[in-house]
Amino acid sequence: MTVFRSKIDTTSASYQTNHQEMLALVEKLQELNLRAPVRSAKRKERFESRGQLLPRDRLVRLLDPGAPYFEISNIAGYLQDTDDEEKSIPGSTIMSGIGFINGVRCTVVTDDSGIKAGAMTVAGGYRLKRAQEIALQQKTPFVHLVESAGGDLLNYTVEGFIAGGSLFANLARLSAAGLPVISILHGSSTAGGAYMPGLSDYVIAVKDRGKAFLAGPPLLKAATGEIATDEELGGAQMHATVSGLAEYLAEDDSEAVLIAREVVGRLGWNRHCTIAPTPSFHEPEFDPDEILGVVPVDYKKPYDVREVIARVVDGSDFTDFKPGFGVSTVCVHAEVYGMPCGLIGNNGPIDPDGAVKAAQFFQLCDQSDTPIVFLQNTTGYLVGKHYEQGGMIKHGSKMIQATTNVGVPRITFMIGASFGAGNYGMCGRGYDPDFCVTWPNASTGVMGGEQAGQVMTIVAEGQAAAKGVDVNREQLAMQEKMLAHLFDRQSSAFYTSGHMLDDGMIDPRDTRKTLAFLLATVSEGRQRTVRPNSFGVARM
Amino acid sequence: MTKLHRAFDSVLIANRGEIACRIIRTARNMGLRTIAVYSDADQFAPHVAAADDAIRIGPAPVNASYLLIDNIIAAAKKTNAGAIHPGYGFLSENAEFAQACQNANIIFVGPTPDAIELMGDKARAKRRMIDVGVPCIPGYQGDDQNDQTLKNEAGRIGFPVMVKAAAGGGGKGMRLVTQADQLSDALSTARSEAANAFGSGFLILEKAVMAPRHVEIQVLADSYGHTIHLGERDCSVQRRHQKVLEEAPSPVLDETLRRKMGEAAVKAAQDIGYVGAGTVEFLLDSNGEFYFLEMNTRLQVEHPVTELVTGLDLVEWQFRIASGDALSILQEDIEISGHAIEARLYAEDPANEFLPATGNIAYWQAADGVGVRVDAGVSTGSEVSPYYDPMIAKVIAHGPTRREARQRLTRALKNTKCFGLTTNRSFLIDALENSVFAAGEATTNFIEKHFPLSRSDHADLTSNAVLVASALLFRDAEAKMSARAIAPMVGLNGWSSATKIKSPYRLCYNDTAFDVTLTSLGANRYETQLGEKHAILEVDQQNEATAHCSINGENIITHFHCPVGAPVNSRIFISIDGRDFDIENLNAIPAASNEQAGEGAITAPMHGLLAELFVSKGQSVAKGDRLAILEAMKMQHEIFASIDGEIVSVDATAGDQVAAGAILIKIEAIADI
């Protein structure tokens, strides 16, 4: 037992300031989280008049009451639909997450047809794709609640068309990997979308509402001149009795959801995953809510990342690995909800000692099959003559190699700065961690905006000096400012999360719960035995 | 005095339900081997489990099992039973049965066949009592059963008149007639009920004493002519001549009247050479005049109240007397201590004319506490079938004063967990809490005068019940689902990484739908919204069936049960302060694609025999017309037209055994022209 002794004074001015500033960001996150549900709920009467449930209500009824739910890519598409920060709706026309259906951990995607009638957007496409990848990697059944107006023809791009193909390929991969794909046809799923049910293992279609056809009446008329009704071409009843595209016919949304629960329940999915029972554990000695006051929003202000770890791990109890070596790189062993993990955090830039310490730590975690948690807050690897000569590049590379190639699950939290190769060594998105989650204060970039501006100014000055000309000071100042803006705008967590450079943004106070949920997810995924087949299950 | 030696070491209990269990309890305490009998419907009943031995006596219907003398005697022989205890009901007052026991050399725990026969014939009994000088109600108990004779006699006695089955008891075949023109109908229905229930359509007439009290005297007599009484029981609170609440002592008897009535009862018993435990029933009017009503030559349902105030075990004395023991207690030894009240918990629907209910007892747990006794014949999973009396249990409380006994009984009823079917529990509580009953002033018209109560004041209770139901359903699902998960993480309950999840509940109670949204706040706290009502709900679960809830700080003790079986999480039974709520979770029930019975569909109100059918296809009927008679639970239920219209189909025929809810007749409304 080595319970951490916190040095945080919750009555201090700096704690209060941190708390206030972080809370403002959290409130912004909460407000963004509510935008899509509120917008979608405006269509409630419309849905009710059609005898339908709002997409979010379908989802809630599908999930087990009270079971935890992790929303994937909750900020996806923010500032992609519009530059207007006030009007942009994060989440796009898709809801995706990991939740429980009849006790089975599932990846669930719900078309939010309350927004733009569920039309597929670029961000929505990426969100769907990421959910499929997660299902594939974490070996969960994949459930899709379909109701989509289809592709957004007004914003058509050929790249989007080609990239969209991977969404269908993934369904085929899931089925072949032995992961059941279950779709509920709540509404239309037309043209390309028709392959959503087509490539599903189980299809539940809602009577009178669920539709799937390659060409609807207008396109059919345009293409061949044939005149036919919706129901004839792809109605739920037709698919359940004639074409065989649907396995189950539901009276309404509510019944469809109950059928889906039944289908998942009868998979007996949890028979094929044996996990050692988690031992009992203690909550942290220090309140996880205090994270808001512990962490300065300004990443330039230093703090001890152990204060964060103490508010995340069981009993605030951890074993500090090589605490006297590479001191600004903090590696610890601890448990979260009884699940062992190795955590790495940064108390400053990574130096050669820190890099080799981390590389060794990762290999040890790999050796003992212990998931690694990256609490990423680094301005990069140390630069300068001393460090370059000390082998910073080769030592940093060792860390990056280890980060990349460990076989154990990796979960990254972007909790502050993420600059330069530090992003790589600390398992940024490019390193395909199992999950990458961000706090709202995180800041990401190849370098800081200020530095980028200054770099270009120094380069320009150098070029001018070489040519023997005077520099235009005014122009340089303007360029420096523009560059700073270009970098800083893209470095904000809201921007990066909107561009899906992570798997979602959380309230820092939820870090412990999120980590517990994700550790359980990756551990289930690693332990699960599946029965893959070559081509996916063919629909007969 | 020659001492009889009739000792036996085993007893067959020719009964079922709570009374069989109760008799077995004493028999075992006395070291007797106990033998239960059962019909096919009772193979797994508690009385079978309680006995040392058990033997099947036939199929479910009573006239093929519990009423078949030959089968019971055969069972007793086969199991080498030394004695037979008949309990109450069934063959307990059947002289032929007592005789058959004697013939088979098996001791019948009860009086002689002669005494049973005499008292079983109401007319003869009354004539005999008049001869002995026991006060009787003026009436007619002649052999001439001609309708005209009966009408003339009724006229002589003067209305109101009570029509009774001569062989009857328990209110069956009994009708109150207030005017001459109602007599014919009353005679025919009473006669048919009597014939069905007792095998004899013989009727007697009596002057109806209005708003009297029903006071009965318990007697004990040994085989040597020693007879004592154990004081009275007041059973004035009756519904359709079925006792509902019974108490001892009576709130209105003083020592003098008690002695007078006791002496009359002892005289009646002694006169006929009565042996064993018996009860002499009287009507007591407001002037303290009492009239002999009848004598029950068996153990009474309500005997526990006498046991609690006298400290005697009546069943033990029945066994001792039957084995030839002399009464070792004298009249002056009998001391009445405190007060006891019994309530009969029935599977029946007070809101629907107390129609008997059938079904499965999804959860049963008797109340306990100081002074509380529960005689039950059911357990969790028991079936209340249409074949037998729908009494579930007797809840009895004893206290130093009547007030305490009443409070203890009310509390015990509120804490009785009986879920799965409709019961009269809240009605019993209302009756106990009624100021007239509390004052000890209830007479036999108490229920018709004070019930049904207006239920409008329970709106707030209903919304509380609905809110509590949503949280308990949520928890039930949460527990059931997380038990299926691989590694349930209790600390993450209700957590979502982005927006809070609001769970919608559409709950249905009493045909009204309530929309509730519920958000888990973690740690057994919930935020709920029902219409305008916003509430923070906390649940502190005590055990599997009890939770201490609070709604915005108001404490609500809730008993509940979520029945097992599909669809999961679709129903919850809630009991708050003795009020029962059977609440459905519509969101967990798949939409019904089957056509629903329309308003013109006439369904069987319960399982039973379709005794008579008065209409045929094509016939026009007016709303309220009598369509059929369903016979169930030995009573006749008339079925009326629900709308004006034409009979478009008759889906059953007279003589059919029909299931509750089965469509019998369809009426199509006549379109307005």
Q: Treating both helix axes as pointing N-terminal to C-terminal, what angle do A449-467 and A473-491 enclose, rounded to 10 degrees? A: 150
What amino acid positions of B are annotated as catalytic residues? 298
Q: How far is A514 from chain B (nearest CA, A)?
A: 7
Work out the pLDDT band at A74, boundaries 50, 70, 90. Answer: very high
pLDDT tens, position by position, A100-150: 999 999 999 999 999 888 888 888 889 999 999 999 999 999 999 999 877
The reply to whether A488 touches chain B by the CB within 8 Å rule is no
CA–CA separation, A77 vs A504, rounded Å? Answer: 11
CB contact under 8 A, B498 and A60: no
Pick from A270, A273, A510: CB nearest B497: A510
Question: Using an 8 Å Cβ cutoff, are A377 and A416 in contact?
Answer: yes
What does the pLDDT average to over B266-284?
Answer: 95
Residue among A312, A436, A513 with most chain B CBs within 10 A, to mutate: A513
- Average pLDDT value for chain A: 92
DSSP per residue, B354-381: TEE--EE--EEE----TTEEEEE---TT
CA distances from A238 to A210, A218, A249, A259, A313 (A): 10, 19, 10, 19, 54
DSSP per residue, B618-645: T-EE-TT-EEEEEEETTEEEEEE-SSSE
pLDDT tens, position by position, B337-378: 999 999 999 999 888 888 899 999 999 999 999 999 999 999
Residue of chain A nearest B485, judged by CA positions: A103
What does the pLDDT average to over B170-184?
Answer: 83
* pLDDT at residue A456, as a whole number: 83
Residue of chain A nearest B492, judged by CA positions: A68
In the predicted model, is pLDDT for residue A151 greater than 80?
A: no
Residue in the block written with tokens 């094509």? B618
| Cα radius of gyration rounded to whole Å, chain B | 27
DSSP per residue, A253-318: HHHHHHHHHHHHHTTTGGGGB--PPPPP----SS-GGGHHHHS-SSTTS---THHHHTTTSGGGB-
Annotate B221-253 with b (16+ C-beta within 10 A) or e (fewer): bbbbebbbbbbbbbbbbbbebbbbbbbbbbbbb
CB contact under 8 A, A66 and B588: no
- The tokens for A304 are 């001890």
Residue of chain B nearest A525, judged by CA positions: B486
In the predicted model, is pLDDT for residue B9 greater than 90?
A: yes
Phi–psi pair at A151, nearest 5 degrees: -70, 150
pLDDT tens, position by position, B596-641: 445 678 888 878 888 888 888 888 888 888 888 888 776 788 888 8
Question: Using an 8 Å Cβ cutoff, are B213 and B236 in contact?
Answer: yes
CB contact under 8 A, A275 and B487: yes
A13-17, A55-59, B16-20, B531-535: which range is least confident on average? B531-535
* pLDDT at residue B596, as a whole number: 42
Work out the pLDDT band at B672, boundaries 50, 70, 90. Answer: very low
CA terminus-to-terminus distance, chain A: 59
Percentage above 70 pLDDT, chain B: 95
* pLDDT at residue A121, as a whole number: 83
CA distances from A342 to A312, A336, A368, A515 (A): 12, 10, 10, 12
Q: Which residues contact B177 (CB under 8 A, 6 or more apart)?
A: B154, B159, B160, B161, B162, B163, B183, B186
With beta carbons under 8 A apart, name residues in chain A contacting B481: 64-67, 100, 102-103
218-237 of A, contacting B, C-beta below 8 A: none
326-365 of A, contacting B, C-beta below 8 A: 337
The reply to whether B566 touches chain A by the CB within 8 Å rule is no
The reply to whether A506 touches chain B by the CB within 8 Å rule is yes
Percentage above 70 pLDDT, chain A: 99
CB contact under 8 A, A104 and B489: no
A411-420, B32-41, B652-661: which range is least confident on average? B652-661
DSSP per residue, A21-40: HHHHHHHHHHHHHHHHHHHH
Pairs of CB atoms within 8 A across A/B:
124
The reply to whether B523 touches chain A by the CB within 8 Å rule is no
In the predicted model, is pLDDT for residue B243 greater than 50?
A: yes
CA distances from B603 to B335, B596, B606, B610, B642 (A): 54, 12, 9, 11, 10
CB contact under 8 A, B492 and A33: no
Residues in chain A: 540
What does the pLDDT average to over A345-350?
Answer: 94
CA–CA separation, A199 vs A214, rounded Å? Answer: 14
Percentage above 90 pLDDT, chain B: 63
* pLDDT at residue A315, as a whole number: 96
CB contact under 8 A, B478 and A66: yes
- The tokens for B151 are 């009408």
CB contact under 8 A, B497 and A517: yes
pLDDT tens, position by position, B379-399: 999 999 999 999 999 999 999
Work out the pLDDT band at B595, boundaries 50, 70, 90. Answer: very low
Instruction: Indicate the burial class of B104 (C-beta count within 10 angstroms; 0-12, 13-18, 19 or more).
Output: middle
Max avg pLDDT among A83-92, A211-220, A376-385, B8-17: B8-17
pTM for the structure as a whole: 0.83
Beta strands in A33-180 (DSSP E): 70-71, 94-101, 104-111, 142-148
* pLDDT at residue B404, as a whole number: 97
456-495 of B, contacting A, C-beta below 8 A: 473-475, 477-478, 481-487, 489, 491-495
pLDDT tens, position by position, A91-101: 888 999 999 99
* pLDDT at residue A148, as a whole number: 87
- Average pLDDT value for chain B: 90
* pLDDT at residue A150, as a whole number: 76
Question: Using an 8 Å Cβ cutoff, are B398 and B339 in contact?
Answer: yes
The reply to whether B522 touches chain A by the CB within 8 Å rule is no
Annotate A44-61 with b (16+ C-beta within 10 A) or e (fewer): eeebeeeebbbbbbbbbb
Question: Using an 8 Å Cβ cutoff, are B290 and B135 in contact?
Answer: yes
In the predicted model, is pLDDT for residue A351 greater than 80?
A: yes
* pLDDT at residue B517, as a whole number: 95
CB contact under 8 A, B492 and A516: yes
DSSP per residue, B136-198: B--EE--S---HHHHHHHHHHH-SSEEEEETT--TTTT-EEE-SGGGHHHHHHHHHHHHHHHH
With beta carbons under 8 A apart, name residues in chain B contacting A255: 590-591
* pLDDT at residue B5, as a whole number: 67
CB contact under 8 A, B486 and A251: no
* pLDDT at residue B597, as a whole number: 44
Q: What's the number of CA atoms in the CB half-sphere (13 Å) around residue B662?
A: 16
Q: Which of A491, A425, A418, A426 is nearest to A453 (CA)?
A: A491
CA angle A435, A440, A445 (to 5 degrees): 75
CA angle A159, A81, A136 (to 5 degrees): 60
Pick from A97, A102, A337: CB nearest B484: A102
Beta strands in A149-193 (DSSP E): 181-190
Work out the pLDDT band at A171, boundaries 50, 70, 90. Answer: very high
Longest distance between any two alpha carbons in chain A, whole Å = 83
Pick from A65, A278, A514: CB nearest B474: A65
CA B482 to chain centre: 41
Q: What's the number of CA atoms in the CB half-sphere (13 Å) around residue B498?
A: 25
Region label for B566, one of left (φ > 0), alpha (ψ between -120 and 50) or beta (otherwise):
beta
Q: What's the number of CA atoms in the CB half-sphere (13 Å) around residue A106?
A: 30
What single DSSP character describes residue B427?
A: H
CA terminus-to-terminus distance, chain B: 88
CA–CA separation, A274 vs B660, rounded Å? Answer: 48
415-434 of A, contacting B, C-beta below 8 A: none
266-305 of A, contacting B, C-beta below 8 A: 270, 273, 275, 277-278, 283
pLDDT tens, position by position, B44-103: 999 999 999 999 999 999 999 999 999 999 999 999 999 999 999 999 999 999 999 999
Q: Which of A239, A236, A217, A237 is nearest to A226 (CA)?
A: A217
Work out the pLDDT band at A191, boundaries 50, 70, 90. Answer: low
Residue of chain B nearest A75, judged by CA positions: B498
Residues in chain B: 673
pLDDT tens, position by position, A373-387: 999 999 889 889 999
The reply to whether A51 touches chain B by the CB within 8 Å rule is no
* Residue B581 β-bridge partners: B574
CB contact under 8 A, B499 and A66: no
CA angle A514, B587, B464 (to 5 degrees): 90
In the predicted model, is pLDDT for residue B594 greater than 60?
A: no
CA–CA separation, B519 vs B259, rounded Å? Answer: 66
Q: Which residues contact A46 (CB under 8 A, 6 or more apart)?
A: none
Residue in the block written with tokens 């960001």? A25
In the predicted model, is pLDDT for residue B593 greater than 60?
A: no
CB contact under 8 A, B482 and A103: yes
A301-305, A309-313, B216-220, B660-664: which range is least confident on average? B660-664
The reply to whether A208 touches chain B by the CB within 8 Å rule is no
Work out the pLDDT band at B454, boundaries 50, 70, 90. Answer: low
What does the pLDDT average to over B260-264?
Answer: 96
Sign of CA dihedral B188, B190, B192, B198: negative
pLDDT tens, position by position, A437-490: 999 999 988 777 787 788 888 888 888 888 888 888 888 888 888 888 888 888
